[in-house]
Each structure stands twice: as C-alpha cells, then as structure tokens.
Structure 1
Amino acid sequence: MSPKPIFREYIIGSKEVPPIEGFPVEIINRRIPEFHFILAFAAEDYVEDGSGKKVGKGNFSANWNVTKFSAKKIRELKEDYEHVKVVISLGGRGTNFPFNPQDKEIWIDNAKKSLNQIITVLYKFHHETVIDGIDINYEHIESSEDEFAYCIGKVIDYLKSNISGVVVSIAPSFPVLSHYQQLFKANPHRIQWVNYQYYDQKVPSTHEFVNLHKTLIDTFGVEKLLAGFSTDPNDKGNISAEVFVEGVLQLLASGSLAGIFVSDAQSSLLSEPPLYLEKKSQEILTGTN
C-alpha cells in the first residue's frame, strides 16, 4: 500500500439535491496524510452538429458556486488544514457532457486558455493560485481512444508545464475504461491518481469488488489506484456500502489500495447518518475504525 493513504471528496453542483453551503470540513480527518476536495464540474460549452449530436468546443467554465467556493475560502481552508488540497474536475456525468471535440486542435487551444483562466485568474489569491490540480472525469466519450488520449494529454502537458505543482487524476468508469487506459498509458508519469468509479457498474459481492480492483492494478498500478463509492441515489444498487467497506478492508490488508474517494458531499449530507461513508473511509485508512 502507498505509505501515504489519500482520501478525496467530490463536491458536485447537482441540481437534484439542495446546494451545499461550503466545504464540509467536519469530514476532514487530521490523521489522513493527504485530503482532497474536488470541485465538479468545470464543464465545456457545446453546439450541435449536423446530425443533432453535441460537440464540444473546449471552453470550460465553473459549474459550482464560485462565491461559496472562492479563492479566499480555499486559502482559509488550507490555513486551517495544511494537509488539504483542492482540485477541479473537468467533464461531467452522463450524456449531457460528452467528450466529443468539434475540432481537436481548436478544442485543445480553447481548453488550455479557459482552464488557465480558471486556475490562475479566477482562483488567484494574493498572487498565488489556490487550485492544486485537475481531475479528468468524462463519463460519456464519443471520440476514439487515440483522440481522447491525444487531446487530454496535450492539456495535461500544458498545465504541468505552465502551473507549478499541478497534480492530475483521472476518473475511469467501466463504459469508457479503454479510453482512460489509453490516456494513462500515454501519460503514466503525469497522472498521479486514478479514481475508479466502482458505482458505475454492478459489483454485487466483496469477492467481485476485490477481484476487479486487482485486475485494474495491472493497468494503473497499486500506488495510484483509488476505490470510489457514490452516495448519489441515482447510483444506488450497483455496489452496496457493506460490499465497499468490506472490500476496502480486504484490499488494505493485502497492501492493494492507495486510497478512497466518495462522490458526493451534497448527497452524503442527506444520508443517514450524514457523511457516514466519508468518516468511515478515513477511519479505515488510518486504522482507527
């Protein structure tokens, strides 16, 4: 297992649940070596092509409340919790947010400019950006594996070269796994974390969960692969909290898990008890469960 287990929490600007009022600091476990909040999503703009399909132009904008999650508030968060980082997630959930560039070179150019604007202008505080990285999280991809790897790879390379200290993660799910495998294969040293969305497929037993994770290690490596659970009611039924918890306990015992992520804070606040999986996951990672 990684000597520094990581926990990550998505904050998604969902319209289906009440908006979250700020970072849920009550879930932060100070014993976790590294804790990330992930703001989602920085979504791109789309137009329709001749067949009525959505095509992307690569102009990204923040789809969360930038007043509640401002540069000043992120700076204050980090002052209170030195082990916390804040990342922005690109893409979106479902077919409304496809990766399908209208023109790949124009898409790349627009993506570089718009993401640089978000990270270094919108999130600048006292001459310093407060955003620590990006997360690639498209769940629906119309392009080929090669085009996805090429376009996203160019954006990763640009951000890594121009913004100091940027960390990069990817969020594969079963339907588009081959696209993310290609992206990772082309950028193994530029991608620090892999947030695998176990909740996007049927994983009915602990045995199947553990075996799936160990299969994914063959591609992504044990030091980078994180297991993810969703508290979104729309994902209910694919993997239970019981299977997830028992599975991560087994993976940790065998040294096969680098960390855990949960999606998402808004839905978790409505769970009973609120934010249970977030707190339980960190207890497991720190051995205090």
Structure 2
Amino acid sequence: MSPKPIFREYIIGSKDVPPIEGFAVEIINKRIPQFHFILAFASDDYVEDGSGKKQGKGNFRANWNVTKFSAKSIRELKADYEGVKVVISLGGRGTDFPFNPKDKEIWIDNAKKSLNEIISVLYKFHHETVIDGIDINYEHIESSEDDFAYCIGKVIDYLQTTISGLVVSIAPSDPVLSHYKQLFKANPNRIHWVNYQYYDQKVPSTHEFVNLHKTLIDTFGVDKLLAGFSTDPNDKGNISLEIFVEGVLQLIASGSLAGIFVSDAQSSRLIEPPLYVEKKAQEILTGSH
C-alpha cells in the first residue's frame, strides 16, 4: 500500500471563478508522504438524442489551461517537490457532464484512444509521461451500474496496461454511490484511492460524518478511503468546515482515515485567508495543527 497520509487538491477549470495561473505550490506540506494535484476535468464530447439527453462519444479533451499546466511545468514541479504527483480527472460536475455512452463499445474505443493521447502525447516530456494517474469523477450517471462498471473498467484496464504505474482513483458521491460501488467491486485491485464527496450531501453533525465514513469503509476499505471538503460556494451548507475538521480528527485518532482531498484551488484562493482549508487539512494529517 502507498505511504499515508495522502493529501489531494483538485484544480478545476471553472468558468465561475478567476482562472488559476499555475500549481499552488505554497500549500505543499513536505511532511505529507504523498501530495497529488488533480487537473479537472478531461470531459467527454456529447451529442443529443431525440429527447434532448446528452450522450457521450468517448472523445475526451482537457478543459484546463494546458499552457499554464504543461508537461514541462509538471516535470519541474515534480523535480522541486519530492512526493508530488499529478493526476487528471475524467468526467465533470453536474448534469452538463453525464456518463451516458451513445454506444458502449465505440465509447470504450474512443476513450482509450483520446485519454492515451492526453496522457502519453500531450503530457509527454523527454519520452515519458509526466501524468501519474487518472481520477473517475462523474457526478451524474444516466447508465446502469453494470454498464458504468463495464465501460470504465475496460478503460482503466487498458490505461494501466499501457502506462506503467498509473494510479487510479474514483470520486463517488451520494446520488451515484451504487454505480461507484459496482465499479469498485469489479476492480478492487486496480483502484488505489476513493475520494468521497461529503460536500455533495447534507452532513449536519460530526457524529453523522464519522458514522457515514465508517459505513463507507465497509465498502471501500480503510486504506483507500479519503474524506473530501469543497471550498466551492455552490457546495456551501452541506457540511461545515467545523464539522469536517472535528470529524477527521476523530477518524485519525481511531486510525480510520487514509487522507483528505479538497476541491478546489481556484475557490480556495478567494476565501480569507486564501488556501486556508488546504493548509489546515495537511496540518491535521501531520499532527501539527
């Protein structure tokens, strides 16, 4: 198992907040064994069916600024900070980016090609990729649990076979939890981390937060399950920072938490003090809070 604790930070190409100019290196705590920046999102290309529903073709493209987050900049980042990895997240937030393949087999073939193009060509530096992993992050899924597990599983299998050492994470949330459970059940050894989005549901107390996490451990395992907090104003009100902090302190004390992730860097720069949540989370993980 990979070293713990782990901290992960989403960098989302959102149109709602000013774009981030580069990696937020000021939040990297060198006492964290693994620090992951997650570039979001590589999103599907869609067509509409007769009823106006979006159907995916499997042709992924990067929605972040590939000039600001280039292969060269990632190589330099990793050279300066030991333990830092860079991951790309597939999917997107909300109903604008559903998982709903128009044709399963065509979607799988296109996804393999387009994602390999991003990882192994767009992000190649001196004959090797600088991307360390992928993150599956669909918040809206139209297909069945079996189809989701089948399609995503085929893509994971191909990319891990093609690209040596590729780390894979999934990002379940309450509305689509059954889909991610099916995916995990079918690929338990291929999935390294589980970024659970606590901010996508109402969590009114520390007690409920801790109990929910322990219930999720039964499915995903204590060594892979990470707790997530969002600084996006659109997620405000579902779980407070006070409940989240108290909950993770209790989980760490009982040996029930492998790490924390925060979404996202752009929104965190707008709060006061900027990037407070990221720094606080890492202090908690290293016992220096």
Match of residue 69 from structure 1: 69
Q: CA RMSD in A?
A: 0.9
Q: Which amino acid aligns with 1:58?
A: G
1:135 aligns with 2:135: yes
- TM-score norm. by structure 2 comes to 0.99
CA contact (8 A) 1:228 1:262 kept: yes
Match of residue 248 from structure 1: 248
Match of residue 193 from structure 1: 193
Where does 1:196-215 land on structure 2 (aligned, <5 Å)? 196-215=196-215
CA contact (8 A) 1:119 1:129 kept: yes
CA spacing shift, 1:210–1:2, aligned 2, 3 Å: farther
Tell me which stretches of 4 or more aligned residues in structure 1 moved more than 2 Å.
Answer: none
Match of residue 105 from structure 2: 105
Structure 1 residue 255, shift from structure 2 partner = 0.3
Distance 2:224 2:50 in 1: 41
Distance 1:274 1:44 in 2: 32
Where does 1:263-282 land on structure 2 (aligned, <5 Å)? 263-282=263-282
Q: Which amino acid aligns with 2:104?
A: K
Distance 1:252 1:68 in 2: 35
Structure 1 residue 148, shift from structure 2 partner = 0.0
Structure 1 residue 287, shift from structure 2 partner = 0.6
Structure 1 residue 82, shift from structure 2 partner = 1.4
2:250 match: secondary structure? helix
CA contact (8 A) 1:136 1:170 kept: yes
Structure 1 residue 288, shift from structure 2 partner = 0.6
Task: Give the number of equivalent residue pairs.
Answer: 289
Q: Aligned residues: percent identity?
A: 88
Q: Which amino acid aligns with 1:274?
A: P
Unpaired runs of 5+ residues, structure 2, are none
Distance 2:241 2:45 in 1: 35
Distance 2:44 2:227 in 1: 27
CA contact (8 A) 1:42 1:60 kept: yes
Match of residue 156 from structure 1: 156
Distance 1:96 1:241 in 2: 28
CA contact (8 A) 2:169 2:195 kept: yes
Unpaired runs of 5+ residues, structure 1, are none
Distance 1:20 1:251 in 2: 32
Distance 2:193 2:115 in 1: 20
1:85 aligns with 2:85: yes
CA contact (8 A) 1:2 1:258 kept: no
Distance 2:165 2:198 in 1: 29
- TM-score norm. by structure 1 comes to 0.99
CA contact (8 A) 2:11 2:264 kept: yes
- Kindly provide the CA deviation profile for residues 258-278 of structure 1, in whole angstroms up to 9, marking residues without a partner as x: 000000000000011110110
Distance 1:183 1:104 in 2: 15
Distance 1:117 1:48 in 2: 25
- Kindly provide the CA deviation profile for residues 228-276 of structure 1, in whole angstroms up to 9, marking residues without a partner as x: 0000000000000000000000000000000000000000000111101
Q: Which amino acid aligns with 1:118?
A: I
Match of residue 168 from structure 1: 168
CA contact (8 A) 1:119 1:131 kept: yes
Match of residue 115 from structure 2: 115
Match of residue 222 from structure 2: 222
Distance 2:159 2:42 in 1: 15
1:288 match: secondary structure? coil
CA contact (8 A) 2:153 2:186 kept: yes
1:185 match: secondary structure? helix
CA contact (8 A) 1:172 1:180 kept: yes
CA contact (8 A) 1:198 1:229 kept: yes
